[in-house]
Amino acid sequence: MVNAIKGVFISCDIPMAQFIVNMNSSMPSSQKFIIHVLDGTHLFVQPHVEQMIRSTISEFRDQNSYEKPT
């Protein structure tokens, strides 16, 4: 019998994958969302956290973007 798990496949570069893994490890064990780390650039996560991951990455990129002084 095959067991199937619904999830979201994430493909990204290595630093972003490490950011997501770090975000997952900082959560309590009941809220961890990574189902499986496939390799350094591919993750399989629970579907309900997709938007949370997107917004956290967006905030991270906004904090680390260069803005030319006016």
φ/ψ region of 66 (left if φ > 0, alpha if ψ in -120 to 50, else beta) reads beta
CA-CA distance, 49 to 35, in Å (whole number)?
A: 11
Domain locations along the chain: 8-64
Q: Model confidence over 32-59: pLDDT tens digits?
A: 999 999 999 999 999 999 999 999 999 9
CA-CA distance, 39 to 43, in Å (whole number)?
A: 7
> To the nearest whole percent, how much of the chain has pLDDT over 90?
81
Give residue 53's pLDDT. Answer: 95
CA-CA distance, 6 to 1, in Å (whole number)?
A: 16
Q: State the architecture of 8-64 in CATH terms.
A: 2-Layer Sandwich (3.30)
Indicate the pLDDT class of residue 70, thresholds 50, 70 and 90.
confident
